[in-house]
Amino acid sequence: MRVLGIDPGLTRCGMGVVEGSVGRPLHLVDVNVLRTSADLPVAQRLVTIEKGIDAWLDEHAPDAVAVERVFARSDSSTIMGTAQASGIALVVAARRGLPVATHTPSEVKAAVSGSGRAGKAQVGAMVTRILRLDAPPKPADAADALALAITHIWRGGAQARIEAAVAAARSRS
């Protein structure tokens, strides 16, 4: 399975593609950060993010897309931009008919490090180890995007099977 992980942000949007399956070594395909200037109007920044995600989907042809679920942080000034970038990511993937999943930050941290309270450095170190990289991906948005893709490969398939079973049970009753 090839998964595009997206750590949404209006200034920095982390993008990471990981390939592999549960119980097998995972492989880094590509990682980068889409950047937009705070000097541009928000609408133009969102168009830049949309075009960037579209280009990544064209180039890497993922089987699924995993996006960080937006949550209310203490820094409310970034919530709106993060939510807008997240919405763009969800729409771009859904428009192509790709399976899209969202994962909370604590779910991602727990999946890659064993602790839902892991810090950025610990997540970066575990991504480096899991993907057998020489150094942690920089900036943290890049490492977070890879962590999202890893989480989806490890947990997303099982979650999709559970949801399908629940839906089938509901349709029978």
Q: Give pLDDT, residue 77.
A: 72
Question: Which residues carry a binding-site annotation?
Answer: 7, 68, 141
Catalytic residue among 7, 19, 54, 163: 7
Q: Give pLDDT, residue 168.
A: 78
Residue ranges of domains in the chain, CATH in brackets: 2-171 (3.30.420.10)
Catalytic residue among 68, 75, 134, 144: 68
Q: Give pLDDT, residue 171.
A: 85
- Dump strand ranges (E) for the chain: 2-7, 12-19, 27-35, 64-68, 100-103
Q: Give pLDDT, residue 164.
A: 66
Q: Give pLDDT, residue 74.
A: 57
Q: What angle do CA 12, 106, 124 make, to 5 degrees?
A: 55
Catalytic residue among 30, 59, 141, 144: 141
The contacts of residue 72 (CB under 8 Å, 6+ apart) are 79
Residues of the chain with pLDDT under 70: 72-75, 157-164
141 assigned to active site? yes
The pTM of this model reads: 0.90
Question: Which residues carry a binding-site annotation for Mg(2+)?
Answer: 7, 68, 141
* Antiparallel, parallel or unpaired: β 64-68 and 100-103: parallel
Give the integer Cα–Cα distance in Å for 104 and 140: 16
pLDDT in tens, 46-55: 999 999 999 9
- Residue written as token pair 């997206």: 6
Give the integer Cα–Cα distance in Å for 29 and 31: 7
39 assigned to active site? no
Q: Give pLDDT, residue 159.
A: 64
Q: Give pLDDT, residue 106.
A: 93
7 assigned to active site? yes
